[in-house]
Amino acid sequence: MIAENNIILDNTQINQKIRRIAYQIYESNSSESEVVVAGIIGNGFVFSKKIATILEEISSLKVILCEVNINKKQPLLPVSTSISVEDYKNKPLILVDDVLNSGTTLIYGIKHFLEVPLKRFKTAVLVNRNHKKYPVKADFKGISLSTSIKEHVQVEFSNDGALAYLV
């Protein structure tokens, strides 16, 4: 059971953050006809699907959804995507993850996409922690949180809703 005082964002707040991020993505890509939303495997991809759903609801953008496969334990292993390079080449792309902690996962995801010419590249996270060991930032973020290095932020997406909390 999760203690009430450990909850960072409840389901309603997470849905509000997703909607706000979707609007920000739309605003920064309003002159485009399509945009690639690339979610990092696991919660990042679940979060990206939720963003894509709202983007399709609020805009005329064609949203291309992409799952980014990164081994989070061994990020130096090759990164792959669920769509071909041709599907995101010369297009605006938003790399999405649930929590930006040290920046390791995001930086290796960024590295993968740097090898392809993109029209524009941005990042989006639900929770931005301030413990980065890499110079990576979230362009779109739900919440910025200063926590101790020992605390861990957990995000859970389920059929019943979503929750972000400290462990």
State pLDDT tens for residues 112-142.
999 899 999 999 999 998 777 788 889 999 9
C-alpha distances (whole Å) from 136 to each of 48, 61, 133 are 19, 27, 9
Take residue 152 and report the two structure tokens written for it: 């861990």
**Which of 25, 103, 107 is closest to 58 using CA atoms?**
25
Give percent of the chain with pLDDT exceeding 70.
Answer: 99
- CATH number, domain with residue 66: 3.40.50.2020
Q: 90 near 117, Cβ under 8 Å? A: yes
Find residue 82's DSSP bridge partners: none
This prediction's pTM: 0.93
Q: For 45-82, what is the HEC assignment?
A: HHHHHHHHHHHHHHCCCEEEEEEEECCCCCCCCCCEEC
27 or 104, which is more confident: 27
For the chain, list the strands marked E by DSSP: 7-9, 34-40, 62-69, 80-81, 92-100, 120-129, 140-145, 153-158, 161-166
Q: How far apart are CA 78 and CA 81, in angstroms?
A: 10
Per the structure, the count of domains in the chain is: 1
pLDDT at 1: 65
Q: How far apart are CA 52 and CA 63, in angstroms?
A: 6
Q: Model confidence over 15-33: pLDDT tens digits?
A: 999 999 999 999 999 999 9
Which range marks the domain in which residue 154 is found?
A: 4-166
